[in-house]
Amino acid sequence: MMDADDMIRRLSGPVSLRRRMAYVVALVMGLGGALAIGLLWATEERPPPVFGGFAVLCLAWACYGGWALTRRTPLFALDRVIGGWIAVAATWPLTLLTVALAVDRPGWAGWAGAAVNVVLALVAAFVLVRARSARAALLRRKRELGG
């Protein structure tokens, strides 16, 4: 019979903070990278075909991160807050970059890319605010229970 400590050891993989944050980074960076490369590709006059390959690679990482976060691993309150900050840190500079690119190279593709990035940045901010309020509610409950 396996005892509780054996079980805790077996569960150490899925509850490893480093692994969960790696999935968050894969999702956010993959999505951001795919958008940035897609935008560069759309705004270049003669884009090199390798851009398409990079964009697909980034999308694949984003899909893997999203799948792992929803199916494979739990995201506790603290993880959601950290994940929210990672998303904000990744999307806001990217948004500024794409807006600057759209101003520098006017055209529908540039503005469309900038608009998508603005939406992503707002979603990231919303996710962070929700994660912080959910964590605050849990901390309040913990204090009420004497923890």
Partner 1 sequence: MTDELLVVRCQLGEREALAELVRAWHDPVWTYVRRMLDHGDADDVAQEVWLAVVRGLPRLREPGRFAPWLFTIARRAVTNRLREEYGRQETTTASGQVTEHADEQVVEDRAEVMADRAALVAGLSGLPLAEREILVLFYLEDLSIEDCAQICAIPVGTVKSRLSRARRLLREQLGERGTR
Residues lying near partner 1 in the complex (CB under 8 A) are found at 1-5, 7-8, 10-11, 14-15, 17, 72-79, 135, 138-139, 141-142, 145-147
Minimum gap (Å) between residue 15 Cβ and partner 1 = 6
CB closer to partner 1 out of 42 and 73? 73
Q: 17 or 50: whose CB is closer to partner 1? A: 17
CA 121/CA 115 separation, integer angstroms: 10
DSSP calls for 2-35:
--HHHHHHHHTTTT-HHHHHHHHHHHHHHHHHHH
- CB of residue 63 vs partner 1: minimum separation in angstroms? 19
Of the pair 60, 70, the CB lying nearest partner 1 is at 70
Looking up tokens 């707002």, which residue turns up? 122
Closer to partner 1 by Cβ: residue 5 or 45:
5
User: Phi-psi category of 146—alpha, beta or left, where left has phi over 0 and alpha has psi -120 to 50?
Assistant: left
Rounded least distance, CB 127 to partner 1, Å: 14
Chain mean position to CA 60: 13
Shortest approach of partner 1 to residue 29 CB, angstroms?
22
Cβ count near 46 (within 10 Å): 4
